[in-house]
Structure 1
Amino acid sequence: MKTARIIILGSAALAGVGAFIMILGSGKQPAPVRIAIQAPPPPMDQVLVANRDIPFGNMVDRGDLRWQSWPPNAAPAGAILETRDPKGADEFNGWLASVHISEGEPVYRNHLVQLGKEGVLATLLPAGMRAVAITIDTGGSSTAGNFIQPGDHVDVIHTFRDDDVARAAGGNGMVSETILHNIRILAIGEAIQKPGREPVISGPNATLELTPKEVEQIILAQKTGQLSLSLRSMVDSNASADRDAPDKDVNLTIVRFGIPVPGR
């Protein structure tokens, strides 16, 4: 009798355990929790760019260049990369810009010219242009008080003795006329870049950027009189059409004191 009861109780216990297991197995498992792990950003290239505008012909100074993060493998062809030239931000201090480099623009080696190398001025000349030196007044009377600097634009004034005016009006017959407009100064003396914080530079001559026709005109004018420079404002310097001003025409007739005089 006891054995039978034990068997019955054991069976009931096993049935209870089995039912409990079935109940647990029939429940839905909770959905797994997904944790998003952000992938590390791809390594960026460091490209040498202008930290500020560097005008044509200006000397690169400390702080003018900086490294700029650039998408990997997307740097412009020919750009200077920190991985290849880690000293690039300081390497070009004292070099000249052969083109205008805008702030944030990548820097290229062929846009910079090292001082002391042969042909620096020739490198700065645009295609088709010529560099011609003229004698200037070292006292400053013909160079806007000695404040004309490389990179500025000027008008060239020719002062000479006109025999026709002398006969008509008496006196020495000295006259002046503007023969060239909006001419860029390449150098004053031996300085071929703006001197930065130094307000004044001087020298016995000025080197001008001219077309071949203007070269002939200014050489003849210097042989027959004195040349002076009139400084233009920065706004007027952008008016490139002024270079075609009518009084440059050697066939122009100019009226002085009511007397027609062939233009020079």
Structure 2
Amino acid sequence: MKPPRAPLSLPRFLRLRRRPLAALCTFVAVLTGLWALSPPPDDRTTVLVAGAALPAGTVLGRGDLVARPLPPEAVPEAAITEPDALVGRALAGPVTAGTVLTEASVASGERLARPGMVVIALPLPSGGIAALVRPGAEIDLIASDGATVAGQVRVLSAPETAEGFGAASRAALIEVSPDAAARLAQLAQTGSLTIAVR
């Protein structure tokens, strides 16, 4: 009968298994380094941006909107994340492709005009003029005596069609001062108004 083996001392145990222990320590060190270098969990916010350059007055449809995830620090205040909050609303100003759309980017109803201004429908006298008056364009409105009733007028929306002389389909929405709006209403009835496209 063989006598029982004496238990290995700790130093001898470590010496005999130094290679497996070294490999284990290396593996743990690599895992710790990878964990430290890994990016934090993705907490991006999906916002809506303009899919293309759009002029002021454009009534937004779903085809104009693109969803884009952004890190929290890149999301502007009041950014809109739901398409239903944008569809059918008009742009308050021109935007470039990729612009994040916020509550300040769009307007509806009375918010379409800037403070101190009003929005009116301007009948366009001909199909040729209607084809030139586009959203974002600036026009001058001149009376028959040559006086400028309103200059550098901002066009918010243009006619969808050039058909129908004097019809609502031949009207553009423009932004003017209240005083100019009253004068333009009188001149539009008499037909003594000239539109100059810049």
Q: Identify the TM-score tier after normalising by the shorter chain.
A: 0.5 to 0.7
1:98 matched to which residue of 2? 92
> Is the 8 Å Cα contact of residues 135 and 227 (structure 1) preserved in structure 2?
no
Overall identity of the aligned pairs, in %? 23
What SS does the corresponding residue of 1:48 show, helix, strand or coil? Answer: strand
| RMSD (Å), alpha carbons | 4.2
Distance 2:84 2:121 in 1: 33
CA 177–61 in structure 1, closer or farther in 2 if over 3 Å, else same = same
Larger radius of gyration: 1
Alignment of 1:80-99 (within 5 A): 80-81=80-81, 88-89=82-83, 92-99=86-93
1:172 matched to which residue of 2? none
Distance 2:163 2:73 in 1: 45
CA 206–52 in structure 1, closer or farther in 2 if over 3 Å, else same = closer
- Structure 1: which 5+ runs fail to align? 1-9, 82-87, 115-119, 161-175, 187-191, 233-264
Q: Which residue among 132, 138, 148 is the counterpart of 1:153?
A: 138
Question: Could you give the per-residue CA deviations for residues 80-137 of structure 1, whole angstroms, max 9, x where no partner exists?
Answer: 34xxxxxx346643332234344333323464456xxxxx2x3211111133455542
> Is the 8 Å Cα contact of residues 60 and 93 (structure 1) preserved in structure 2?
yes
Higher relative helix content:
2
Counterpart AA for 1:131: V
CA 128–91 in structure 1, closer or farther in 2 if over 3 Å, else same = closer
- What is the CA-CA distance between 1:77 and the residue it aligns to? 3.7
CA 43–201 in structure 1, closer or farther in 2 if over 3 Å, else same = farther
2:116 is aligned with 1:128: yes
- What is the CA-CA distance between 1:56 and the residue it aligns to? 1.9
1:214 matched to which residue of 2? 180
TM-score, with length taken from structure 1: 0.50
Counterpart AA for 2:101: V
- What is the CA-CA distance between 1:193 and the residue it aligns to? 5.0
- Structure 2: which 5+ runs fail to align? none
What SS does the corresponding residue of 1:63 show, helix, strand or coil? Answer: helix
Alignment coverage as a number of residue pairs = 180
Counterpart AA for 2:80: I
